Structure 1
């Protein structure tokens, strides 16, 4: 099977021989992938000229409802995606994060769009600014969709979620998207895009797909376009330096894999709920998706006097992890996404072991359920311990797999310094039951992180965990993590819109924004606005009541009626 691209309103299959994509479990051929023959400039023009105007025709609420309908459509077909997802090495739990977690972002952004954005074409930013003395000249900041295309370059680890978490805010903003999935797992992205197109819920040109290389696509971008990239920092920096992106000041949002940490508070003792939570969270982040998560815990920062207890508990827990075919219900960790990915992880691991001791995962022999180690991309979880906390290579080298390093610390300031050595992270977590410790560590570490989870037993039951980005919250981080943000509710929608300060008379600004501005004309009608139907209301409809004197009796009667007897209302001045 050769994967197809969706360009200019039709499916395209390259006639050229492509890269072979293998099943992560057994090495069998899944598909070939090539984008040779695509005209990438045509794809951009199609999005700009067909997709963009079609989307901008609708209001925020109408586009939000499209997301809801699309989410329902895909959720009804989720088992189709689960079936193919196993070939990526994902267990049912891993796939749930990718498939249903991805679809849920459509529902969240649909709700955000209908609750927090107007049923119009302009989004207001901040309050009206009254500039002149008499109020005849005023100003307001607004957001409107950019008139270009958003190029989404995604990572291999989440072929569904990675696409949908970018697509949802983009489409809500009114901007078409060109999706470029990572080749290793692009067959699952292609399958979902086929169902998106089949649904006919989105206007034509809203979504296009590149299966294979982007070719010269990025060289044709202009200032109205945007790029959202997820992947390695090295690749992201190369893309940012493309002349067209630099010369045209193209919006570029980069989310790069980072050396995320989890700090155990000094108050946490072995046998406590928080200690057990820490062990559970760390082991889960090492094994879910076989550690192939940009948010996984790479550095476990532990009080030095708890190091042995943590190591012992982690070894005991990891030794119970069953590896093998993810289709087997007893398997807790499947293979990595590809043989090449496993070899890359092993290369990085060999660098890490030069100054870190392996505590678990030394053996190269694997016990697998329903799988052959010679054919699949399997490897054991590996837990290490830093010999020198300040200079360990774990602060610089990431092995994008089931690998983590225990790093001991002395006092809280030392823990914060160690966290900062990651040079910017997507997420960090703090496990403590002491609010003072949590406050000091959070304030100290926040500048180095895009998101912080403060976890204790009181919230653990409902916590979404260290490694789960949520569409309501920003996903991104400073420094090594890319210096950008994704999602975050309406914040993520604004990335695909232009903020403009508009100035003029209140009446003009009311007409442009669709919101009444102070100083605009009021429409006084004999019918009270509350008595009108929604479709009968106009902006500026008002009611003017006759003047009357408020007496003390009126105030006391209102206080008795409402129960509001606050002294400032009742006492005589």
Structure 2
């Protein structure tokens, strides 16, 4: 059994005590332990700021992009090992592991290429200079300079690879050192990736750090000019926001939290559009066992299509093989832990008390795994004929293979139902009516971080409702956390400070150039 050490102050440090177990969610085997008792986070942060930050900022954006490219090569060389860890620690089949492992590598590669095109040295101009006096004798120029603190990542359990690299890519490219706090349940993969990069000697000391377990003073040791990026539950995000370092001392905070995402079948509802929706709903229910912040939770269809869509979903889902990912032919694996299984079961019971059942995998799918201590839960689709008077389906996210089908009366009703999520990461719309797609995009953009429009023209090439691409914004308003990540170079803004520099135009030009 391996104890996952913490990499801080340029060296590996084990936490005191036995630590907490990291388990195989199918067999219950203890794979490793994590712990951070006794770790001096103040010293760790100071080293990251003073050593890692100083060294990174001495490089240009293009030079830091080269470092990202070198990291990509190390991760690609170890893909098979990462897939094996994912199977054991996350309970995922290989296709699902690829979403996490290859998704992280792709995102890093994207930012390596994007950063390689930047001509800036140590700062970036934001717009052009504006005159503040007659004859432009005095002017103002906005500039973006890298944060001189550190970036603390408090990550979720469902994407131990992608969740790390989609944040770290933008931070490191910006010149900001990172400290990663992975979720304990799936920390092994994050730890192994960080270890491989550290062993390769790519980054300057202090630029990449990891702390596993629950260190004391993790937030208390932050400086007011540090930044924190969090992915997880809305309750935890609210607790973090109320911490004095964030609430009172100005530590910049980004959150991605709960999201009751929608898939909407347009009122034209031909068979092609319906088929596209059904296929995507089944994908989102089964990939990573529905443990995706972008997964479809509500399925909105015209009243006249409700029964047809219900039957199509049931027909597709009954053919899904569910069980131990080590077994040949298994398409859907496990949840990441027994505690997550218990939370999903509790959520299913709440929805079951006030909903119809469209498909019940508990009855119609045989789980292929030994014993009954595993964390495997098959897909369940509920239905409600009265979504206006069924608030629970719009408010509660069951973070697993669970969704609810509901009918709408007309276009206005459909869009109103989608917005009842009160802020979501993504809505996908399926229609071959371009006017409806345009109307839906404009209406839903205010309450959704991403609007995914699907017609026959893109049926074979679209990237998927739940796939987060680095070219597009990831985040959402309201209950989704109000955060923003990725979106190309937009991601770098979180790791920069905006300042208005005022002076003679010649001086401002010298600064920018």
* Superposition TM-score tier, normalisation by shorter sequence: over 0.9
Give the C-alpha shift of residue 362 in structure 1: 5.9
Aligned equivalents of 1:380, 1:325: Cα separation in 2: 12
Count, aligned residues: 510
Show the counterpart of 2:5.
4
- Which runs of structure 2 are paired with 1:418-429 in the superposition (5 Å)? 418-429=417-428
- Which runs of structure 2 are paired with 1:375-414 in the superposition (5 Å)? 375-392=373-390, 393-414=392-413
Contact 1:94 1:288 in 2 (8 A): yes
Give the C-alpha shift of residue 244 in structure 1: 1.5
Change (3 A) 1:258 1:373: farther
Give the C-alpha shift of residue 135 in structure 1: 2.7
**Structure number with bigger Rg:** 1
Contact 1:366 1:379 in 2 (8 A): no
Give the C-alpha shift of residue 121 in structure 1: 0.7
Give the C-alpha shift of residue 391 in structure 1: 2.8
Aligned equivalents of 1:123, 1:29: Cα separation in 2: 48
Aligned equivalents of 1:486, 1:230: Cα separation in 2: 11
Asked whether 1:268 is paired with 2:269, we answer yes
Once superposed, which parts of structure 1, at least 4 consecutive aligned residues long, lie more than 4 Å away?
Answer: none
Q: Find the residue that maps to 1:159 and give its secondary structure.
A: coil
- Which runs of structure 2 are paired with 1:227-376 in the superposition (5 Å)? 227-269=228-270, 272-361=271-360, 363=362, 367-369=366-368, 371-376=369-374
Change (3 A) 1:442 1:10: same
TM-score, structure 1 as length reference: 0.87
Give the C-alpha shift of residue 69 in structure 1: 1.3
Contact 2:266 2:302 in 1 (8 A): yes
- Which runs of structure 2 are paired with 1:7-406 in the superposition (5 Å)? 7-87=8-88, 88-115=90-117, 117-269=118-270, 272-361=271-360, 363=362, 367-369=366-368, 371-392=369-390, 393-406=392-405
- Which runs of structure 2 are paired with 1:448-487 in the superposition (5 Å)? 448-487=447-486
Q: State which drifts further: 325-334 or 64-73.
A: 325-334
Aligned equivalents of 2:365, 2:456: Cα separation in 1: 35
Q: State which drifts further: 105-114 or 201-210.
A: 105-114
Show the counterpart of 1:543.
none
Aligned equivalents of 2:370, 2:400: Cα separation in 1: 19
TM-score, structure 2 as length reference: 0.97
Q: Find the residue that maps to 2:403 and give its secondary structure.
A: strand
Q: CA RMSD in A?
A: 1.3
Q: Find the residue that maps to 1:227 and give its secondary structure.
A: strand
Q: Find the residue that maps to 1:48 and give its secondary structure.
A: helix
Give the C-alpha shift of residue 388 in structure 1: 2.0
Aligned equivalents of 1:262, 1:49: Cα separation in 2: 47
Aligned equivalents of 1:339, 1:417: Cα separation in 2: 36
Show the counterpart of 1:558.
none
Q: Find the residue that maps to 2:501 and give its secondary structure.
A: strand
Show the counterpart of 1:531.
none
Aligned equivalents of 2:371, 2:411: Cα separation in 1: 43
Q: Find the residue that maps to 1:217 and give its secondary structure.
A: coil
Contact 2:321 2:365 in 1 (8 A): no
Aligned equivalents of 1:183, 1:468: Cα separation in 2: 24
Aligned equivalents of 1:192, 1:97: Cα separation in 2: 16
Aligned equivalents of 2:262, 2:298: Cα separation in 1: 5
